[in-house]
Amino acid sequence: MKILPEPNRSASQTSTVVQLRNWRRGISADKVIGLVPTMGALHEGHRSLIRRAREQCDLVALTIFVNPTQFAPDEDFSTYPRTHEQDLEIARAENVDLVYLANTEELYPAGFATLIDLPALSQRLCGISRPHFFAGVSLIVLKLFHLFEPDKTYFGEKDYQQLVIIEQMTRDLDLDVEIVRCPIVREPDGLALSSRNVNLSAAAREDAQVLSRSLFLARQRWQAGEVIATHLREEALRSYGTEVDLDYLEVLDRDSLEPLVYIQPERGAVICVAANVGGVRLIDNIVLEPH
Amino acid sequence: MKILPEPNRSASQTSTVVQLRNWRRGISADKVIGLVPTMGALHEGHRSLIRRAREQCDLVALTIFVNPTQFAPDEDFSTYPRTHEQDLEIARAENVDLVYLANTEELYPAGFATLIDLPALSQRLCGISRPHFFAGVSLIVLKLFHLFEPDKTYFGEKDYQQLVIIEQMTRDLDLDVEIVRCPIVREPDGLALSSRNVNLSAAAREDAQVLSRSLFLARQRWQAGEVIATHLREEALRSYGTEVDLDYLEVLDRDSLEPLVYIQPERGAVICVAANVGGVRLIDNIVLEPH
């Protein structure tokens, strides 16, 4: 497994970006390259992305970068978990070909001036409390697409709004990369895996179950034939007491993220939820598959 | 010479974007691809870009697209000259390999949501009177870079601010493409070639000379040793009467486009000017080469 920047080469003359480009240029055009962009603190959710990439691609590249442009000053950039040693072990165990430990100074040098945004999709849901988040995500993903020129790239459905934004950006900008959606991985009690879960206290960990529980209940009613989105939303909201600070819970169109009143059975929907649980921001969602 | 969309194929089933991708995929990795993005109405300035590309590249692609996202509703999108037949003759004469006659519906389909901007560079100079112009330029250039994946791409120094913005975007987004700067081509009396020149009346054509004349005078003083930017600016401004409606004339850093007071002799500068001449917006500039 190749690691960039190379750990044993102190103060290399060549920038990591140049090393990366050289690596990329050495790969023949008939090889399928899969990219798994992450912020590290890898868990079983990330492993599922890597495994899917391993199945579908000749070469698998993993990036680990806690991207500062997607955090606001009052957010958890500094306390976001960082577990590089463990991440590298996981990458090795999963047969990753290249790990790119990206570096803020190289990716955002002095004078950096480019912004990218999809305001119609980024300024709703999580974007209301995190107005710069998706612009930061779009920017780093676009940069990584340019650096790796992957054939396929792997994102978890857990970050549903992010996934929709990256898919839309990819179409809009004519990027020749396939976005592979990977299903949410959950704890036995339903909690969606997240690197932030390690920051939950024992009590908050208990309280956090309400997110997935509420979504499962709403999905049961959808499966039983309910097509009025507001009824499903009310059903889901009934689960919440005062133990979590709910940010939003919405029944949305799966592509446009527009809130729905009536769900076309042949189209389905997605229910997205975000809440602050004991000081940790958690999100979850469930897709209501078409009948 | 290949033309996309293919003119003799009526209502092709395959989108032009897909045809373009197929063309691109058929080119082996050792070939150097040069891209010349234009809005058509080709003149000797464009020909100089194509010739430069022809010298340096194995394959030359020319795009012709009057990009609507870089025009404001009150601007000259509808009167911008369109001379497709003549453009294709020029492309043939210059041995272009592929002409892409881009199509608004394919490049900006319904639901298009992505914006890109470099506000620190785009909101000054031409960006004051044309606040959306450079965001539109950046967007279409980025899309064309993705569609063609060129090795080199050719832009005229005539659109100096545009060139700086595209260079900055290319660096910021880690795009693996070389931006080749091509010098301004001028009429014998100094007027910088522009597709918009055909819209000048005979009187306005005469008046338009003041732009280049003022720049040449300022450059003479620079060459004679003047390093105070404000003196050069005053020298240039002395040429202007009431015959043209001056928008701006500024002495700027060549990379950051910051206005200068003192010019470091070893760094040089650029003087940029924009004016409305008989209802036609013209721009020009001159680089003050380092001593």
Q: ipTM score of the complex?
A: 0.94
- Length of chain A in residues, anyone? 291
What does the alpha-carbon distance between residue A257 and residue A120 come to, in Å, rounded to a whole number?
A: 9
Per-residue pLDDT at A49 exceeds 70: yes
Measured between CA atoms, the residue of chain A closest to residue B114 is A118
What pLDDT, on the 0 to 100 scale, is given for residue A163?
98
CA dihedral sign of residues B117, B120, B126, B130: positive
- Interface residue B21 vs chain A (CB under 8 A): yes
What does the alpha-carbon distance between residue A178 and residue A35 come to, in Å, rounded to a whole number?
A: 10
pLDDT digits (tens, 9 = 90+) for A232-265: 999 999 999 999 999 999 999 999 999 999 999 9
**A285 and A272 Cβ atoms separated by less than 8 Å:** yes
Name chain B contacts of A116, Cβ cutoff 8 Å: 114-116
Per-residue pLDDT at A11 exceeds 60: no
What does the alpha-carbon distance between residue A218 and residue A132 come to, in Å, rounded to a whole number?
A: 30
Q: Considering B43, B46, B132, B231, which one is annotated as catalytic? A: B46
The full set of domain ranges for chain B reads 2-182, 195-286
Which whole-number Å values give the CA distances from B42 to A160, B67, B88, B228, in the listed order? 46, 15, 9, 38
Active site residue A46: yes
Query: Inter-chain contact B172–A114, Cβ cutoff 8 Å?
Result: yes
Lowest mean pLDDT among A67-81, B5-19, B47-61: B5-19
**A128 and A92 Cβ atoms separated by less than 8 Å:** no
Name chain A contacts of B113, Cβ cutoff 8 Å: 118-121, 168-169, 172
Query: Inter-chain contact A119–B115, Cβ cutoff 8 Å?
Result: yes
CATH of domain B2-182: 3.40.50.620
Query: Inter-chain contact A173–B120, Cβ cutoff 8 Å?
Result: no
What pLDDT, on the 0 to 100 scale, is given for residue A291?
87
**B273 and B190 Cβ atoms separated by less than 8 Å:** no
The whole-angstrom distance between B170's CA and the closest CA on chain A is 9
What pLDDT, on the 0 to 100 scale, is given for residue B14?
77
Prediction pTM value? 0.95
- Interface residue A120 vs chain B (CB under 8 A): yes
Query: Inter-chain contact B146–A176, Cβ cutoff 8 Å?
Result: yes
What does the alpha-carbon distance between residue A163 and residue A161 come to, in Å, rounded to a whole number?
A: 5
Q: Which of B21, B114, B168 sits opposite A113 (nearest CB)?
A: B168
**B6 and B12 Cβ atoms separated by less than 8 Å:** yes
- Interface residue A26 vs chain B (CB under 8 A): no
What pLDDT, on the 0 to 100 scale, is given for residue A236?
97
Query: Inter-chain contact B143–A174, Cβ cutoff 8 Å?
Result: yes
- Interface residue A118 vs chain B (CB under 8 A): yes
Tokens (6 digits) for B77: 């999108």
The whole-angstrom distance between A117's CA and the closest CA on chain B is 5
What pLDDT, on the 0 to 100 scale, is given for residue A15?
87
pLDDT digits (tens, 9 = 90+) for B37-78: 999 999 999 999 999 999 999 999 999 999 999 999 888 899
Measured between CA atoms, the residue of chain B closest to residue A164 is B113
**B51 and B183 Cβ atoms separated by less than 8 Å:** no
Name chain B contacts of A147, Cβ cutoff 8 Å: 174
Query: Inter-chain contact B121–A112, Cβ cutoff 8 Å?
Result: no
Per-residue pLDDT at B84 exceeds 90: yes
Per-residue pLDDT at B290 exceeds 70: yes
What pLDDT, on the 0 to 100 scale, is given for residue B7?
72
- Interface residue A17 vs chain B (CB under 8 A): yes
Query: Inter-chain contact B114–A29, Cβ cutoff 8 Å?
Result: no
Residues 6 or more apart whose CB falls under 8 angstroms from that of B205 comprise B191, B197
- Interface residue B137 vs chain A (CB under 8 A): no
The whole-angstrom distance between A25's CA and the closest CA on chain B is 10
Q: Which of A146, A173, A175 sits opposite B174 (nearest CB)?
A: A146
Q: In a mutagenesis test of the A interface, which of B172, B176, B253 is the best target, namely the one with the most A β-carbons within 10 Å?
A: B172
Query: Inter-chain contact A116–B116, Cβ cutoff 8 Å?
Result: yes
pLDDT bin (cut points 50, 70, 90) of residue B6 is: confident
Residues 6 or more apart whose CB falls under 8 angstroms from that of B92 comprise B1
Mean pLDDT of the B118-135 span:
96
- Interface residue A4 vs chain B (CB under 8 A): no
Query: Inter-chain contact B168–A114, Cβ cutoff 8 Å?
Result: yes
To the nearest whole number, what is the mean pLDDT of chain B? 95
Pure H helices in A173-270: 202-207, 209-223, 229-237
Per-residue pLDDT at A12 exceeds 60: no
Per-residue pLDDT at A278 exceeds 90: yes
Tokens (6 digits) for B80: 């911008």
Task: Kindly give the interhelix angle for A16-25 and A133-148, rounded to the nearest 10 degrees.
Answer: 50
What pLDDT, on the 0 to 100 scale, is given for residue B1?
95
The whole-angstrom distance between B84's CA and the closest CA on chain A is 25
CATH of domain A195-286: 3.30.1300.10
pLDDT digits (tens, 9 = 90+) for A80-125: 999 999 999 999 999 999 999 998 999 999 999 999 999 999 999 9
Query: Inter-chain contact B173–A143, Cβ cutoff 8 Å?
Result: yes
- Across the beta sheet with A152-156, the strand order is A2-4, A98-101, A59-64, A33-38, A152-156, A178-182
Measured between CA atoms, the residue of chain A closest to residue B27 is A29
Looking at per-residue confidence, does A4 or A11 come out higher?
A4
What pLDDT, on the 0 to 100 scale, is given for residue A10?
58
Between residues 140 and 199 of chain A, which touch chain B (CB distance below 8 Å)?
Answer: 142-143, 146-147, 149, 168-169, 172-176
Which SS3 state, helix, strand or coil, does residue A131 take?
A: coil
Per-residue pLDDT at A1 exceeds 90: yes
Ranges of beta strands (E only) in chain A are 2-4, 33-38, 59-64, 98-101, 115-117, 152-156, 178-182, 245-252, 269-277, 280-288
Closest by alpha carbon to B283, among B128, B66, B83?
B128
Query: Inter-chain contact B173–A142, Cβ cutoff 8 Å?
Result: yes
Pairing of strands A152-156, A115-117: unpaired
Per-residue pLDDT at A60 exceeds 90: yes
Are the folds of B2-182 and B195-286 the same?
Answer: no
Burial of A266 (C-beta count, 10 Å sphere; 0-12/13-18/19+): exposed
What pLDDT, on the 0 to 100 scale, is given for residue B15?
87
To the nearest whole number, what is the mean pLDDT of chain A? 95
- Interface residue A262 vs chain B (CB under 8 A): no
Task: Count chain A–chain B contacts defined by CB atoms under 8 A.
Answer: 72
Mean pLDDT of the B158-183 span:
98
Query: Inter-chain contact B176–A146, Cβ cutoff 8 Å?
Result: yes
Name chain A contacts of B117, Cβ cutoff 8 Å: 114-115
What pLDDT, on the 0 to 100 scale, is given for residue B54?
98
Which whole-number Å values give the CA distances from B259 to B211, B229, B251, in the listed order? 19, 9, 6
Per-residue pLDDT at A9 exceeds 80: no
